[in-house]
Amino acid sequence: MIKKEISNFSIKQISESGQCFRQNPAGENRYSVIAGGRYVEIEQRGKETFFSCTEEEYREFWHTYFDLDRDYGKYMEIAEGEDDYLSRAARFGGGIRILNQDLWEMIVSFIISQQNNIKRIKRNVEELCLRFGEKKCSAEGVLYHTFPDVHALAGVSKEELRDCNLGYRSRYIYETVRSIESGEVDLEAIKRMEYAGAKKELLKLCGVGEKVADCICLFALHHLDAFPVDTHIRQVLDNYYPKGFPMKKYEGFAGIVQQYIFYYDLMG
């Protein structure tokens, strides 16, 4: 267990923000997180944050995963300007950070997210992991399953995917696996692309539309100009920004602002 003091960081808010689906309550002010084939439990007490891992693992993985080198205070400062709605949203969700998540996991997770709610998405993702992921044991003796990679899902039929309660999304995932296995879409190449190019490539995948592509760009590739628009965001834009959202004002971090808005609309 290691202790850190981190500004503008709330594991609770991050877990509820709709960008990740394998973070869950594990006690009072404590959450379990499965990412990158690893497992950690995080507890917050006031300004102190405790990670159930070694200092080496924290530096090698979790520090980057939670984007802890970035000063989110400066983004909040700009967001808390003359815009009353956005000021409230930024203050309400000031502990949110944009995670550096696995590209393949985010592709599948956000295909599953279509016409779905967070609770059900989590169940669907967990079922995929239980059936097709690798079983592991954490240093604390907690058993968990990794997210199945492309090759693990390549041998899975549409019927088996449908058994995970994925409905029509099972076909999307099945076809997406084949697009990547065949080389039609190259994930390693996408990781090296700028936002526009990466989004264009992602749109080639079955079941990936504008919103899903933007979610993947933001939450996996860390393109902070991606601004996913779902029903929550659309309602806010219609109600508070009928003349259009001032994207230029938030150039370079519009995706962070989107998360403040989404979380405030969802939980506020």
Cβ proximity of 256 and 224 under 8 Å: yes
Residues contacting 264, CB < 8 A, separation 6+: 88, 89, 92, 93
Pair of tokens at residue 46: 């006031």
Pair of tokens at residue 72: 């989110």
Cβ proximity of 51 and 42 under 8 Å: yes
Of these residues, 12, 135, 158, 211, which one is catalytic? Answer: 211
pLDDT, position 55: 96
pLDDT, position 61: 97
Strand partners, 38: 35
Q: How far apart are CA 218 and CA 209, in angstroms?
A: 14
Angle, in degrees to the nearest 10, between helices 169-181 and 103-112 = 150
**Number of helices and strands (H, E) in the chain?**
15, 7
pLDDT, position 64: 97
Pair of tokens at residue 100: 């550096």
pLDDT, position 96: 97
Q: What is the pTM of this model?
A: 0.94
pLDDT, position 127: 95
Q: What is the three-class DSSP state of 79? A: helix
Q: How far apart are CA 199 and CA 27, in angstroms?
A: 38
pLDDT, position 257: 96
Q: How far apart are CA 125 and CA 148, in angstroms?
A: 10
pLDDT, position 268: 76
pLDDT, position 35: 97
pLDDT, position 114: 87
Of the candidates 241, 181, 236, 187, the one whose C-alpha atom is nearest the C-alpha of residue 216 is 187
pLDDT, position 116: 84
Mean pLDDT by 10 residues, the chain (268 residues): 94 95 93 96 94 96 96 91 90 96 97 90 95 92 95 93 92 96 95 97 95 97 96 93 92 95 92
Q: Are strands 48-51 and 38-45 parallel, antiparallel or unpaired?
A: antiparallel
DSSP symbols for 164-208? TT-TTHHHHHHHHHHHHHTTSS-HHHHHTS-HHHHHHHHTTSTT-
Q: How far apart are CA 12 and CA 29, in angstroms?
A: 8
Q: Which domains does the chain have, with CATH numbers?
A: 2-92 (3.30.310.260), 103-219 (1.10.340.30)
| Unique residue bearing structure tokens 């989110």 | 72
Q: What is the three-class DSSP state of 153? A: helix
Buried b vs exposed e over 132-153: b needs ≥16 C-beta within 10 Å? bbeeeebeeeeebbbbbebebb
pLDDT, position 140: 83
Question: Has 211 been annotated as catalytic?
Answer: yes
Q: How far apart are CA 82 and CA 103, in angstroms?
A: 36
